[in-house]
Structure 1
Amino acid sequence: MRTIPLGKSGMQVPAIAVGCMRINGLDKSEAEHFVQSALEEGAVFFDHADIYGRGTCEEIFAEAVHMGDAVREKIILQSKCGIRPGVAFDFSKEHILSSVEGSLRRLKTDYLDVLLLHRPDALVEPEEVAEAFDLLHSSGKVRHFGVSNQNPMQMQLLQKHLRQPIVANQLQLSITNANMISQGLHVNMLDDAAVNRDGSVLDFCRLNDISIQPWSPFQYGFFEGVFLGSDKFPELNAKIDELAEKHGVPGTTIAMAWLLRHPAKMQPVTGTMNVQRLKDCAKATEVRLSREEWYEIYLAAGNVLP
């Protein structure tokens, strides 16, 4: 699989990340088949979070991949922390450290390649985060750090205190949820698409070499459903089907290729547990849409140009 740089980490990572949020919906043999199939595709970057399945997703993955020293050297592990069910969000030093210990234990590994802070904490004290990151980095338990769902000012506030660079920001983005792109096209226009809801986070990340990891790349709304094959998006699906036939690939591949075509060098995070769909996503790294095709898809989703 084609690789891309992950922010300022110095790492080259697969252009597609494998999201493991739903792996607890598979039985043991299915989970093993899914993970091994991902490895065969070169999709060796696995995205986790301590809250996925209340930790069971990390445990199931470790068993499915047959975690050991030889396996660990071949894969890249990313996990997230900061959401406390029943409380809210927690970026305290104590919680970050205990969360990482829990993830390492469940994943049966000594270190995470990347740790992301999940969902902004209104009570964050950046100095505490910096202390936690320093301890995790110096001990070798976490090699690189990033965030999820944060705007530019939130990242700047953290970075002011961090010794380590923020290498990634996981954000919701898809063809139908493309506000971070649309607002850049509608600058100074008197329409809804011009509303800047995220502080120009796309441009900020590009300026600061922070890799964007789009989550829910096939969803519309907030987990309302998948736009592929949906009756709510007939024009979009017709255009995707047309281009899929032209390129000789499935529609899933075209939808993923749309994200990969953006020059920000994003790393989309898949959510599927279907082996064939994962393979279709992986094919997208071999397809480069033309400028005309990219805009045709954008417009077919109901987006407009000024």
Structure 2
Amino acid sequence: MKPQPLAHWGLNTSRLVFGCMGLGGDWTNGPITKEHVHQAEQVTEAALEAGISMFDHADIYRSGKAELVFGQMLKARPSLRDNMIIQSKCGIRFADGDVPGRYDFSKQYILNSVEGILKRLGIETLDILLLHRPDPLMEPNEVAEVIESLYTSGKVKRFGVSNMSAAQIRFLQQASSQPFIVNQLEISLAHLHFLDQGVHINQEAGTSVNFADGLLEHCHTEHIQVQAWSPLAKGIFSGQPIDGASEAVRQTAALVAKLAQQKETSQEAIVLGWLMRHPSRIQPVIGTTNLQRIVACRDAERQADLMTREEWYQLYVSARGVKLP
């Protein structure tokens, strides 16, 4: 079995990541409750039992309450921290009065964001910090300065990005001595641009594809872990209602169900296994808070290892809805 890209940087982690966006109640600034903390305990236990040791946050999730409720859980059960890799993201700012929602990679904003993340989580060091979405006003030297400050102070061990192209990563990396080791992107059977960009080279159909040229290849070459957000595509291929869905979605959901039955596994494991079969060693970030669905994901790595090229292409072409060029 080939090692994960994160192993190159000395991080031993699970093939799956648990995304914590669903924790903490609603997206207001209202209080968290005992029920919210109990939910965090339940889903964390289910994730750990499923072999998931990496947990993904962002300072904006539930207006900070996802981190806060996770921190309260860790305070009550501090031994859990020893078995976790915790990453969070910053750089997205909500609308404020007349000022619209925006991105902010300024030094002071990133510093303040990390202080808030650490305080809400109740930890002294964040394992990985991701810059959430590319800021058009980002200054590489300023970003590099704040990254070095966070690293030397021991507040952040490693760094990465989210939703960035290869050119944007190189733009930041040339100024920073700290490597960017993660890039989190939307990738799934319902979001196939990451594959279509490659197969549509010199094809007219490629003009409708929206994925940065050479991004997967750059991440693979530089040992940057590609993480997939929304990898289950809200469950449309694994049993969730698909009223009004396209024929491609319906046929692919049926194919997933057929493969799951043949292999005596879950539909979630087939969908995630398809992603993980890719040579980029994609690391899915599952966001469900349904305990049964968390457990259903645990067989994904095995299914990735068992999946044949023919099965992988069956799923890809079915989800595309049209044959390959």
- TM tier, shorter chain? over 0.9
3-state SS in 1 of match to 2:257? helix
3-state SS in 2 of match to 1:116? strand
**What residue in structure 1 maps to residue 238 of structure 2?**
228
1:152-163 correspondence runs (5 A): 152-163=166-177
Aligned residues: 301
Measured against aligned partners, the alpha-carbon deviations of 1:136-180 in whole angstroms (never above 9, x if no partner) come to 100111000000000011001000001111101000000121111
Matches of 2:322 and 2:138, distance apart in 1: 36
Q: Is the CA contact (8 Å cut-off) linking 1:114 and 1:144 kept in structure 2?
A: yes
Gaps of 5+ in 2: 26-34, 96-100
Q: Does 1:280 align with 2:299?
A: no
Matches of 1:260 and 1:67, distance apart in 2: 34
Q: Does 1:184 align with 2:202?
A: no
Report the alpha carbon displacement of residue 31 of structure 1 after superposing the two structures with TM: 2.1
Matches of 1:205 and 1:47, distance apart in 2: 19
Q: Which amino acid aligns with 1:298?
A: Y
Q: 1:110 to 1:210 in 2, by over 3 A?
A: same
Q: Is the CA contact (8 Å cut-off) linking 2:128 and 2:157 kept in structure 1?
A: yes
3-state SS in 2 of match to 1:23? coil
1:205-224 correspondence runs (5 A): 205-219=219-233
1:238-249 correspondence runs (5 A): 238-249=254-265
**What residue in structure 1 maps to residue 141 of structure 2?**
127
Measured against aligned partners, the alpha-carbon deviations of 1:107-139 in whole angstroms (never above 9, x if no partner) come to 010011100000110100111110110011001
Q: Which amino acid aligns with 2:22?
A: R
Q: Which amino acid aligns with 1:114?
A: I
**What residue in structure 2 maps to residue 39 of structure 1?**
48
Q: 1:59 to 1:164 in 2, by over 3 A?
A: same
Matches of 1:204 and 1:66, distance apart in 2: 39
**What residue in structure 1 maps to residue 114 of structure 2?**
100
3-state SS in 2 of match to 1:147? strand
Q: Which amino acid aligns with 1:36?
A: E
2:84 to 69, 75, 86: 75
Q: Is the CA contact (8 Å cut-off) linking 2:23 and 2:39 kept in structure 1?
A: no
Structure 1 residues 27-36 or 75-84, which shifts more? 27-36
Report the alpha carbon displacement of residue 190 of structure 1 after superposing the two structures with TM: 2.1
**What residue in structure 2 maps to residue 4 of structure 1?**
4
Q: 1:12 to 1:67 in 2, by over 3 A?
A: farther
Identical residues among aligned pairs (%): 42
Q: Does 1:144 align with 2:158?
A: yes
Matches of 2:124 and 2:23, distance apart in 1: 22
TM-score by length of structure 1 reads 0.93
Report the alpha carbon displacement of residue 259 of structure 1 after superposing the two structures with TM: 0.6
1:292 to 291, 310, 314: 310
**What residue in structure 1 maps to residue 29 of structure 2?**
none
Q: Is the CA contact (8 Å cut-off) linking 2:272 and 2:300 kept in structure 1?
A: yes
Structure 1 residues 278-287 or 13-22, which shifts more? 278-287
Gaps of 5+ in 1: none
2:278 to 241, 262, 287: 262
Q: 1:64 to 1:96 in 2, by over 3 A?
A: same
Report the alpha carbon displacement of residue 215 of structure 1 after superposing the two structures with TM: 0.4
User: Where does structure 1 differ by over 6 angstroms across 4 or more consecutive aligned residues?
Assistant: none
